[in-house]
Amino acid sequence: MNFHTEPQEVALPVSQGTWGKVLDSADPRWDGPGAMPLATAAGRQRVTMPPRTIAVFQTSGPGAEQAAVEEALTLIKDNG
């Protein structure tokens, strides 16, 4: 998520593996300024998020759900 009025570079908070983008609010179909060029991500890859946008990534495969839960709990613990 980037709620700033300027583009921001962020590290995607995802666990290892390949993640596919399923939603990008910057996409023109949502009246955004232009989608992020990134269609897939791996691990904590750094990306530039357009201003005032959100992107949702999803992974699948063995252990993907458990890995996502563990990653979310770690983020909550580290930032809580």
Q: What is the mean predicted confidence (pLDDT) over 27-54?
A: 84
- Label each residue of 31-53 as H, E or C: CCCCCCCCCEEECCCEEEECCCE
Residue 59 resides in a domain: yes
Residue 2 resides in a domain: no
Residue 3 resides in a domain: no
Residue 26 resides in a domain: yes
Residue 19 resides in a domain: yes
What residues does 8 pair with on adjacent strands?
49
8 Å CB contact between 22 and 58? yes
Residue 47 resides in a domain: yes
Percent of residues, the chain, with pLDDT higher than 90: 6
- Count: domains in the chain: 1
Q: Which domain holds residue 46?
A: 8-79
Q: What is the mean predicted confidence (pLDDT) over 52-78?
A: 75
Q: Is the pLDDT of residue 5 over 90?
A: yes
Q: What is the mean predicted confidence (pLDDT) over 9-33?
A: 83
Residue 1 resides in a domain: no
The Cα angle at residue 16 between residues 75 and 49, in degrees rounded to 5: 65
Residue 57 resides in a domain: yes
